[in-house]
Amino acid sequence: MNAEAVAQPSQPAAAPGQQPDSSQPRRPRRVTAAAVAFVLSAVAVGGVTGGLILAARSHSTPPAPVAQAPLAAPPFGVRPDGSHFGPLGELLLPVPSNAAPGADVAGFGNDTVLSPDRYASMFQREFRFLSTGARASLQSELGLPGVKGYALRTYADTDDGLSIEITVIQEDAAHVSALQQGLRTLDSATGGMRSGPQVGGFPHAHCYQPPDPYGSALDLLRCDDVEGDLLITMQAEGVSPLPQSAAADFLRNQLSRLATPAAQV
């Protein structure tokens, strides 16, 4: 038999339009396609989620800004030049928690901002312990008829057994220097009297003990000081021996209210 006549095994024919590829297995192609599909689906889900977040943010209302209330102007205080503003009643020390309103001053009450027509009579009463000449000098130096204001307040300090009266005279800005001259006149006129205590933090405050003009058994302490455009006078009465340190502390609280920066509180 002719060897050429032996039939050779036939190879399966390729499907029309398909090229056989023996170098790339089919399995990896399926894995790659699946991975691509997963990535695409993740991107799609992420895009939807991001869109929802952006949409929520775009529809959310931002918090309204908190309005800052303007600071109220203080009812009283001290200016850079040392002059004071506000009603004299605000400048006087309020009645402390351990005290009570004091007794009336005859004809004036116990908490009064005087009218100009009452200045002279109050002044004569307040400085009655001075000689006639010293009182007349002080009244002239202060220019009493033209002062800006005059006020008084009384206190009953039951803890220390003190009856206290504080007065404030306010000068016009053009005559502030008269207060310092008036203070010197007071210092000179009371130099021979018994000296009183020092007032902590206010070295120019002058305290002294005049004799009681009514000749009573009470002990008497007076203190004077100038703060800017104000002449402040305190008179404290009590049974002897009068607690001078308590009286000086009372005046210190009043002066602190008028001094920078306490007057801004």
pLDDT at 37: 44
CA dihedral sign, ordered 224, 226, 227, 230: positive
Taking the C-alpha atoms of residue 231 and residue 248, their distance in angstroms, rounded to an integer, is 16
CA dihedral sign, ordered 47, 48, 51, 56: negative
Q: Is 17 part of a structural domain of the chain?
A: no
Q: Is 42 part of a structural domain of the chain?
A: no
Residue by residue, DSSP assigns 187-239 as HHHTTTSEE----TT-TT-EEEEPPPTT--SEEEEEEEEEETTEEEEEEEEEE
Q: Is 195 part of a structural domain of the chain?
A: yes
pLDDT digits over 3-23, tens only? 444 444 445 445 444 454 544
Which domain range does residue 98 map to? 77-264
HSE value, Cβ hemisphere, 13 Å, CA-based, for 208? 18
Taking the C-alpha atoms of residue 225 and residue 201, their distance in angstroms, rounded to an integer, is 12
Q: Is the pLDDT of residue 50 over 60?
A: no
pLDDT digits over 111-157, tens only? 999 999 999 999 999 999 999 999 999 999 999 999 999 999 999 99
Q: Is 198 part of a structural domain of the chain?
A: yes
pTM of the predicted model, to two decimals?
0.72
pLDDT digits over 200-244, tens only? 999 999 999 988 766 677 899 999 999 999 999 999 999 988 999
Q: Is 4 part of a structural domain of the chain?
A: no
CATH of the domain at 240: 3.40.1000
Taking the C-alpha atoms of residue 234 and residue 205, their distance in angstroms, rounded to an integer, is 10
155 burial (CB, 10 Å; 0-12 / 13-18 / 19+) is buried
Number of domains in the chain: 1
CB-CB contact of 108 with 152 (8 Å)? yes
Q: Is 211 part of a structural domain of the chain?
A: yes
Count helices and strands in the chain by DSSP H and E runs: 6, 10
Q: Is 61 part of a structural domain of the chain?
A: no
Q: Is 68 part of a structural domain of the chain?
A: no
Higher-pLDDT residue of 79, 73: 79
